[in-house]
Structure 1
Amino acid sequence: MMKTINKITLVVLMLSTTLSYAGKKEKDNAKAFAKSILVEFVNAKKGQKLLVKNEHGLILHSETLKNSGDLSKAFNLNQLEDGKYTIELEKDYEIIIKPVEIKNNILTFLQNKEIKIFKPLVRHNKNKLLISQLSLSSVPVKVEIFYEDELIYSETINDEKTINRVYKLQNEQFGNYHAIVKSDNRSYIEYFKL
């Protein structure tokens, strides 16, 4: 009789352990599903970058696209804590930013906050440096020009949606230059020689 009671107790314990494990696994799967997202971008091109960043701008994932066309990419963000993140497609002249938020283990795609940032176009021709940028939000744009790593010119441009600047460099100063354009909390660097 005692052996029968022990066997029944053992079966009940094993069954309750199995059921609690199955419930935990189901919960974990629900979390994994809640933190997955399908992101789509139109007209993506081979060589462009796809990034996932946290709210401080730290890159958590980066990949270079291997194909051109419309892009659908599933992201499993299981390892991420609650907070705000962005999924970005960095194209030649623009960056498309799709913000997401994880709160209480639920991932929400913030469609109404999707933005597009236009990157500056920096070109040089002989001793002239041309900088153009479209800024839909009229954010300040800072331009810094360096000769042999020494700052030779700096300007902050405010309240302009379209920036077109031509900077004339001294003809006799041959060597290495670079220009840094800062806007939208981002920096763009162009290296060139004269």
Structure 2
Amino acid sequence: MKTIKKLTLSAAFLFITAFGMANKIDLRIVSDENSKKLVFRYDNITTDATLRFIDLQGNVIFSESLEDKTEYLKTFNLNSLETGTYFLEVEDAIKETEYTILVEDAHISIETKLEKNKPVFRKKGDMVYLNLLNLSKKEVEIKVIDNSDRVVFNQVFENTALIEKAFNFKNAHEGRYSIMVKNLNDRYYDYIIVD
């Protein structure tokens, strides 16, 4: 039994790692004395994604869905932007990537890159399977909440790199259930309706 569990965990870890690494992002600065440009390339192999360029106040300057599952190339001309901090965000089914970009009079720079793994939910019949790659091993809380806002399941994972959980709704009461995954300040939800 322990061998089967180890093999299942190993296979799930490899699946999530391979799935997460399939989409590649390349962000480069092209700058000279007359222009400030940001070149974004995304090899979108496995899943649909969304691209957003946002200012410090949260205003969306540019947004586009990347659904082609092919290479995507976009050049942002930043000459008309005011001096300040901006964010380029790419979000797909399993990961959020955010670049912090500093625009100054003479040049632009990429200050930071932050990646967050998102939980992967898979539904099969009355079952919901949850996988989360948590390489930082930070605390993760999972709750299942019914349509009366009652918590019917709650579990906290500590120091766990790969979180796997299966939920069986076969004998659950009718209604809408929310599955919430809280990872630091981020919350992710999935829903299931039991009839």
Q: Which bracket does the TM-score occupy, shorter chain normalised?
A: 0.5 to 0.7
Backbone CA RMSD of aligned residues: 3.2
2:35 is the alignment partner of 1:33: yes
Q: Does 1:62 align with 2:99?
A: no
Larger Rg: 1
Q: Residue type of the partner of 1:33?
A: S
Aligned length: 161
1:175-190 aligned within 5 A:
175-183=175-183, 185-190=185-190
Structure 1 spans left out of the alignment, 5+ residues: 1-29
| Structure-1-length-normalised TM-score | 0.64
The amino acid of 1:63's aligned partner reads E
**Offset from partner CA, 1:71-111 (integer Å, 9 cap, x none):** 2212234335412x33222222223333322345632024x
Counterpart code for 2:157: I
Aligned to 2:149: 150
**Alpha-carbon separation, structure 2, partners of 1:71 and 1:143:** 35
Match of 1:26 in 2: none
Q: What fraction of aligned residue pairs are identical, expressed as a percent?
A: 18
Q: Distance in 2 between matches of 1:97 and 1:137?
A: 17
8 A Cα contact 1:122 1:132, kept in partner: yes
8 A contact 1:89–1:95 mirrored in 2: yes
Aligned amino acid, residue 187 of structure 1 = R
Q: Would you say the 8 A contact 1:44–1:71 is kept in 2?
A: no
> Which of the two has greater helix per residue?
1
Task: Note the residue ranges of structure 2 that are not aligned, 5 or more in a row.
Answer: 1-31
Higher-strand-fraction structure: 2
- Give the Cα separation in 2 of the matches to 1:135 and 1:95: 13
